[in-house]
């Protein structure tokens, strides 16, 4: 087999692709030179998965990579009409982030229930103030997104004694773990009974702005909201109003409509809101795991075997088998 060209968007820090030595020519590119180099590449690795340059640079016609891999779970940053319509394969980093994100969400849930923030603040003030906190066992969580990340979150919360309602695009009545996966049209009713609402859905045209003023109004005042999916799933002004007016108890955001969050964003100062910089899935060694995953799939691609984590481009995610 002739040497293939792997074009890598982003190099800070560069991926460790030692297994491609002698098998592929690896070329690093930035956003400015991406359009010129795309026609020469067999494979595109979107290492900088925060960039939307692929959407802007993807050619309408002519040569283009036969396979695009993104080092992220979501593919909304790269999908565009031309890429969806052509025969280029798209894969994602499914399998790397699920458990770390589930642990992160569980940590937030425990911290909120046990008022760790209040304890830290009282400690800072050197005040001894006894309080009662929430019991997790028996509380109810609505997890929106029934893919691997949502399922890992649900499984982890089940282990804490939380009752979990998992919501997907369509209903699955015989799920071996959750019993019933609810269809998206059941979400409105489920929100009215939720103690915890966790958003882990992919960003599609159907889910954009899913959590708006009406959604937050359906939640009981005790509800706490967490988003580890994509920023545009949430109407941020609606969340800010819900928190400032005490219509929900608390929230945590790890993803935002605009990233990075600017210093003058009102989100920094919203009461009872935890802000983290899109880090819920990033644990020590995560970049090495992403590079290994890509190289494993490169082995399959080179051998003419089916690729792992093949995205349905029209749905915008890897379908659950």
Instruction: Please give the positions annotated as active site.
Output: 230, 259, 278
| Dist. CA 155–CA 132, nearest whole Å | 27
HSE, side-chain direction, 13 A CA sphere, residue 134: 22
Query: Two tokens at 5?
Result: 């060209």
* Beta-bridge partner residues of 196: 141, 224
Do 18 and 6 meet the contact criterion of CB atoms below 8 Å apart? no
In Å, how far from its chain's centre is CA 254? 9
Phi/psi at 166 (nearest 5 deg)? Answer: -95, 130
* Beta-bridge partner residues of 142: 165, 197
Phi/psi at 313 (nearest 5 deg)? Answer: -65, -30
The residue behind tokens 């028996």 is 138
């Amino acid at each position: 087999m002739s040497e293939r060209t792997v074009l890598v968007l982003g190099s800070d820090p560069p991926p460790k692709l030692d297994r491609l030595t002698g098998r592929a020519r690896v070329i690093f590119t930035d956003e400015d030179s991406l359009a010129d180099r795309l026609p020469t590449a067999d494979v595109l690795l979107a290492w900088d998965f925060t960039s939307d340059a692929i959407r802007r640079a993807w050619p309408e016609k002519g040569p283009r990579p036969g396979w695009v891999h993104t080092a992220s779970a979501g593919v909304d940053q790269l999908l565009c009409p031309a890429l969806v319509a052509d025969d280029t394969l798209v894969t994602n980093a499914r399998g790397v982030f699920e458990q770390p994100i589930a642990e992160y969400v569980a940590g937030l849930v425990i911290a909120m229930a046990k008022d760790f923030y209040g304890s830290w603040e009282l400690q800072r003030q050197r005040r001894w103030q006894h309080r009662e906190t929430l019991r997790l066992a028996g509380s109810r969580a609505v997890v929106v997104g029934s893919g691997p990340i949502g399922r890992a979150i649900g499984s982890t919360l089940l282990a804490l004694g939380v009752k979990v309602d998992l919501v997907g695009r369509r209903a699955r009545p015989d799920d071996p773990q959750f019993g019933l996966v609810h269809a998206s049209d059941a979400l409105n009713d489920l929100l009215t009974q939720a103690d915890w609402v966790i958003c882990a859905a992919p960003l599609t045209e159907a889910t954009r702005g899913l959590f708006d003023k009406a959604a937050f109004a359906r939640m009981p005042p005790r509800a706490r909201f967490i988003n580890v999916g994509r920023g545009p799933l949430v109407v941020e002004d609606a969340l800010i109003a819900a928190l400032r007016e005490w219509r929900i108890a608390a929230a945590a955001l790890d993803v935002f409509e605009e990233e990075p969050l600017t210093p003058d964003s009102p989100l920094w100062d919203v009461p009872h809101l935890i802000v983290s910089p899109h880090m819920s899935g990033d644990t020590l060694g995560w970049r090495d795991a992403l590079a290994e995953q890509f190289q494993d799939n490169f082995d399959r691609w080179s051998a003419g075997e089916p690729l792992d984590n093949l995205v349905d481009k029209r749905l915008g995610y890897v379908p659950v088998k």
